[in-house]
Structure 1
Amino acid sequence: MSAAPASRPARSSIRTGLIAAVVALTAVTATACSSSSSKTGAASTGKTIQVVAAENEYADAVSQIGGQYVSVTGIMSNPNTDPHTFEANPKVAHTVSSAQLIVQNGVGYDDFMGKIEQASSNSHRQVIDVQKLLGLPDSTPNPHLWFKPTTMPAVAKAIAADLSAMDPSHKADFDANAAKFDNSLQPWNQAISQLKASAPGAAVATTEPVADYLLDALGFKNLTPWAFQADVMNGTDPSPQDVATEKALFIQHKAKVFVYNQQVTDSLTQSLMTLAKQNNIPVVGVYETMPTPGYTYQSWMNAEVSALRNAVANGKSAPTL
């Protein structure tokens, strides 16, 4: 195999033209959309609060906290597609522009959301931008914020606060559900602590930084060069030097586990998967959007830690969940 795969277009440029068209259409329909979304509470309308989350993991959190008082749409929810190349369409634009509450990741991961929101301005609409919520700069290199154990508790608190402001009559429900959500994350936090203690500094290789925040929390050592991870994430060709370094992690058995992004594959990443298998390096698949059906955010995160534990302790692969 050659040192690098065939050239690929940068992901950020693939959707530019379609987003522009969607924004134009949204601007035309903004007036009609704003008339329905300007109603600020379920109590005043007798209807559920309309919520849109850019990623289905955030949509799941909203559903758990809002319960029967919210109607939630997750825009990016297909675990078989690359979220970085997601293309908004007019239906998505209408859904986003009609929302009373929006939850989005930020850090450039779902920038199509901001474009649609600007084209359908609504002073009553609430937007939770997780990047801003966490106080992260635009230069934050890794946008996969939901793998960081401290992210979702902050998001849950913000969701409960915004839903309570929109529907004060059910504030007690939202607060109770947020507390329940926080408590349900404890098994995940405990599993992280236990694995960190049992396998301190375990060496891993990755294709890109999807689960890097989780690996950091586990105290694992990611041996893959950052430049390699960033290039794969951004759809550009890693340098021959970085590819050689990555391959050596398997050939020389430096990595104990290969953490593989199931949603972004090409000839290079697939060849690395083959190389890992040939050298008996267990593979653990990670995802950018929550696998469906059958998972909640909590069970998804627990499954990822369980797969990593089984790989480190028993050499067992879990390329898919």
Structure 2
Amino acid sequence: MNRRAFLLTSAATAVATTLAACSSGGGTSSDAGGASDAGGGSGKTALVASTNVWGSIATSVGGDHVEVTSLISSPDADPHEYEASTRNQLALSKAAVVVENGGGYDDFMERMLSSAKNTSATVINAVDVSGFTAAAGAELNEHVWYDFPTVKKVAEQIAAALGKADAAHAQDFTANATALNAKIDELIAQEATLKGADAGKGVAITEPVPLYMLEAIGLVNKTPEAFSEAIEEGNDVPADVLAETTALFSDKAVALLAYNEQTTGPQTEAVLKAAKDNGIPVVGVTETLPEGEDYVGWMTANLTAIGDALS
């Protein structure tokens, strides 16, 4: 079990125990972190997303007819170290639709749903929707929100699930998903433009967070797998692997460094310093939405930053 899965599972187990204790007197809380019962309370359909990335997609599709709760929403939070709360557990208990990432990224969602005894919610798993599977002997890159075709599919499934929960507004959900996917098509076109100019250039990463986007542009990841795997798992990077990674910059083997700003430490900072010392552009990436951004605006900024770094 990797560091992410261990921490999230432990947190979910702890909150499940707390919820059971709080519920033993037969009472329930009306505070569900902004969520409401489908067809009741605020009159909006309740949807819970594991992160504000999928929450933003759901908000675009649901519009004014849906109340969205994102369990991980702080831009300063490390999603690997999510700590569940009874407030979020209660939100899940009321959800008509749940959007999780899957692929081991947010396994706490399944445990929290089980503890909440919510068996009626439609659960959309983005990794399952993507159709991606791990290559033999390798781990799946679960950061599928950086893959635009996957996001389009998830948006369509959210529209279908919301239409099932609220048939009166089904056409609105479908229209909203269509409009969102048209904007995502523009992002795909932006990737294609960058690919035409920059395909084949080498890049370095600290974690595989943006790899789907980088590969769609035709960029080649030169980072030793042992480096990015150790960082993602929360393990120390062997000295020889760190030296091999920093040499990418002194050897000018890469055109940019994609740096995960939400998982940092002495070894990632050493790589960051090597890039800066050797004049290699650095593009910061995150796993959750920056404050005040929506999904399309965020990804547009990411692509623009990559294009500027490569030019």
> For 1:297, which of 295, 298, 301 is the aligned residue?
295
One-letter amino acid of the structure 1 residue matched with residue 107 of structure 2: D
Q: Distance in 1 between matches of 2:83 and 2:193?
A: 40
Give the root-mean-square deviation of aligned CA atoms: 2.4
Q: Where does residue 190 of structure 2 map in the other structure?
A: 191
After superposing the two structures, state which structure 1 stretch, 250-259 or 11-20, moved more. 11-20
Q: Where does residue 269 of structure 1 map in the other structure?
A: 268
Query: How many aligned residue pairs are there?
Result: 302
Contact 1:149 1:217 in 2 (8 A): no
Map 1:1-321 onto structure 2 (within 5 A).
10-27=3-20, 29=23, 41-42=38-39, 47-137=43-133, 140-293=139-292, 295-313=293-311
1:270 to partner: Cα distance: 1.2
Q: Distance in 2 between matches of 1:182 and 1:245?
A: 40
After superposing the two structures, state which structure 1 stretch, 94-103 or 15-24, moved more. 15-24
What is the TM-score of this pair, normalised by structure 2? 0.90
1:244 to partner: Cα distance: 1.4
After superposing the two structures, state which structure 1 stretch, 150-159 or 80-89, moved more. 80-89
Contact 1:81 1:264 in 2 (8 A): no
Q: Where does residue 3 of structure 1 map in the other structure?
A: none
One-letter amino acid of the structure 2 residue matched with residue 22 of structure 1: V
Q: Distance in 2 between matches of 1:76 and 1:170?
A: 27
Post-superposition CA distance 1:206-248 (Å, at most 9, x none): 1010101111111101100122111111111122222111011
SS at match of 1:128: strand
**Structure 1 residues 66 and 282: alpha-carbon distance in aligned structure 2, compared to 1, 3 A threshold:** same
Structure 2: give runs of 5+ residues left out of the alignment. none
**Structure 1 residues 146 and 168: alpha-carbon distance in aligned structure 2, compared to 1, 3 A threshold:** same
Q: Where does residue 319 of structure 1 map in the other structure?
A: none
SS at match of 1:181: helix
Higher relative contact order (CA 8 A, sep 6+): 1
One-letter amino acid of the structure 1 residue matched with residue 299 of structure 2: M
Post-superposition CA distance 1:240-299 (Å, at most 9, x none): 222111011011111110110011110111121111111000000011011111x11111
1:70 to partner: Cα distance: 0.5
Q: Distance in 1 between matches of 2:172 and 2:213?
A: 30
1:166 to partner: Cα distance: 0.6
Contact 1:26 1:116 in 2 (8 A): no
Contact 1:34 1:120 in 2 (8 A): no
Contact 2:8 2:82 in 1 (8 A): yes
Contact 1:103 1:129 in 2 (8 A): yes
1:33 to partner: Cα distance: 6.3
SS at match of 1:280: coil
1:19 to partner: Cα distance: 2.3
**Structure 1 residues 227 and 32: alpha-carbon distance in aligned structure 2, compared to 1, 3 A threshold:** farther
**Structure 1 residues 292 and 128: alpha-carbon distance in aligned structure 2, compared to 1, 3 A threshold:** same
Q: Distance in 1 between matches of 2:151 and 2:271?
A: 32
Q: Distance in 2 between matches of 1:136 and 1:229?
A: 20
